[in-house]
Amino acid sequence: MHAPTRARRRRPLLRGAVAAAVAAATVCGPVPGPAHAVSGPAHAASAYRASAYRASALQEVMLVGNNWEGTADVIRSSGTFAKIGRIDLIPDKNDRLREIYLNPIRLAFFLGIRETVGEGHDQFVDDLYTTPDGSAIVVSRPSFADVASVDTATGRLRWRFPVSGFRSDHMAVSPDGTRVAVSASTSNTVHVLDITTGRQLGSFRTGDKPHENVFTGGGGHLWNMSIGEVNNDFDDPSQDWLKGDRKITVVDAATFRRIKTIDMRSRLDAFGRRDLSDAVRPVAFTPDESRLYFQVSFFNGFVEYDVAADRILRVKTLPENPDTSDDRTTFVNDSRHHGMSMSPDGAKLCVAATMDDYATVVDRATLREGPPVSAAKPYWATVSGDGAACVISESDADQVTAIDFATGQKITSVPVGDHPQRVRLARLPVGWTGTTG
């Protein structure tokens, strides 16, 4: 089961100026301005070429965000999963670094991200989607604390939206593809933007450290899961109260008014699992959205939750890798398992057992897991374009791997860039081959 991995780093505690800046930003932090559009002759030429792309036929693809490298690899969405091309998602890197190094507070956070959640690396690509016409990729860039739109024809920046606070994180796109929601980690805020222009349509407050976002109800509702403080070593269950306010926030996606707040602490306690963290990580809804499956910090398994009844139904514990330390401070950002997806028919779950170095397909009716597929720190799981496979990102092996939902067996692996994390289905013009080698 065990796969060779890079040496894992113990998360250092924040010290000195970085610690002070982090503490300050949880109550204040920069207020986001409007999206900054790029203008001038070069942009005009870019817009002209992009208009030709908009008229092109589109193909379904998969985007693989290479977090530490700042690129995205584009692969086939099913079948061979062969590589199509690559695009640089930090074409403005020098400009952003110049701004950061001239601002002591931003620099403290930039370095803090590198030494904590970045495991010693800058985080350039967290989440990513294409616009409906395939002419741009919209990406959240944690170390730059922004969301940016990069032209898929030219590789140039179209617009960028600086989030509130000092770090951007997971995103979600509305079912119609027109709106993108992004978590601003340090300001406990979710911003919702027009995916084409970058204009903010609204925002709402969340629990501490907003993370996963999911649209439900055909785009009428937006769920946010906050995971609390993951950048400290107060990981013993007795220190759980030091992890902050963790909850699910559900809002009306049109008005951004709060519909309900779900604190899983009381639900887990009622089920008899006081030992489990209530920090909800990646999630997967059933097709009818009646059941929610979610991972929590430190746990090798997942939880089944009845949405209408507002109660936990089952908890599934998955096998531990005997070579994985049980020292919670060694888990990357508190996540022992991180990544879930569900087959389109709702019959199977695919689970990324991150620190245990495998992935597995689980029968949803019985919760019986299939054979472990060896993987090097799998960090995400999504569904192939044809719905037949689960695709995981192996962040320690710099590859993505497809697993057959029917058999639970590995189909193939495809090399990608440095530290792949989020994998998303997308649409790009037919014939697109990338903007960089």
- Starting from the edge strand earliest in sequence, which strands make up the sheet with 221-226, in order? 210-216, 221-226, 248-252, 258-262
Q: Which whole number is the average pLDDT over 223-241?
A: 89
Grouping H, G, I as helix, E, B as strand and the rest as coil, residue 119 is coil
pLDDT of residue 18: 41
Beta strands 340-342 and 311-317 are unpaired
Assigned domain for 8 exists: no
Q: Which whole number is the average pLDDT over 23-46?
A: 52
Q: 51-56 — which CB contacts under 8 Å span 24+ positions? A: 52/153, 53/133, 53/134, 53/135, 53/152, 53/153, 53/429, 54/133, 54/134, 54/135, 56/134, 56/429, 56/430, 56/431
Contact 380, 421 (CB under 8 A): yes
Percent of the chain with pLDDT over 90: 82
The H or E element that residue 101 is part of is helix 93-101
Q: 107-111 — which CB contacts under 8 Å span 24+ positions? A: 108/17, 108/18, 108/20, 108/21, 108/22, 109/18, 109/21, 109/22, 109/25, 109/145, 109/166, 109/167, 109/186, 110/143, 111/18
Range with the poorest average pLDDT among 47-61, 125-139, 148-162, 168-182: 47-61
pLDDT tens for 372-406 read 999 999 999 999 999 999 999 999 999 999 999 99
pLDDT tens for 241-299 read 889 999 999 999 999 999 999 999 999 999 999 999 999 999 999 999 999 999 999 99
Grouping H, G, I as helix, E, B as strand and the rest as coil, residue 176 is coil
Both tokens assigned to 197: 């222009």
pLDDT of residue 238: 86
Enter the pTM of the model: 0.90
Assigned domain for 90 exists: yes
Assigned domain for 177 exists: yes
Which has the closest alpha carbon to 380: 411, 417, 337? 337
Greater model confidence, 120 or 242: 120
The mean pLDDT value of the chain amounts to 90
Assigned domain for 434 exists: no
Counting runs of H as helices and runs of E as strands, what totals does the chain give? 5, 29
Phi, psi of 273 (to 5 degrees): -120, 60
Is residue 3 scored above 60 in pLDDT? no
Query: Residues for the chain: how many in total?
Result: 437
Assigned domain for 37 exists: no
pLDDT of residue 436: 83
Grouping H, G, I as helix, E, B as strand and the rest as coil, residue 323 is coil
Distance from C-alpha of 327 to C-alpha of 331, rounded to nearest angstrom: 7
* Alpha-carbon separation of residue 50 from 56, 71, 130, 358, 428 (angstroms): 10, 20, 13, 41, 12
Which residue range forms the structural domain that includes residue 235? 16-28+57-429
pLDDT band at residue 11 under the 50/70/90 scheme: very low
Q: How many domains does the chain have?
A: 1
What CATH number did the domain enclosing 406 receive?
2.130.10.10
Residue with tokens 């299939």: 370
pLDDT tens for 132-174 read 999 999 999 999 999 999 999 999 999 999 999 999 999 999 9
pLDDT of residue 262: 98
Assigned domain for 325 exists: yes
Assigned domain for 117 exists: yes
Assigned domain for 82 exists: yes
Percent of the chain with pLDDT over 70: 88
Which has the closest alpha carbon to 84: 54, 61, 56? 61
DSSP result, 202-244: EEEE-SSSEEEEEEEGGGTEEEEEE----SSS--SGGGGGGG-
Distance from C-alpha of 421 to C-alpha of 400, rounded to nearest angstrom: 9
pLDDT band at residue 9 under the 50/70/90 scheme: very low
Written as one letter, the residue type at 304 is: E
Distance from C-alpha of 417 to C-alpha of 329, rounded to nearest angstrom: 27
* Alpha-carbon separation of residue 41 from 38, 47, 51, 94, 157 (angstroms): 10, 10, 15, 20, 13
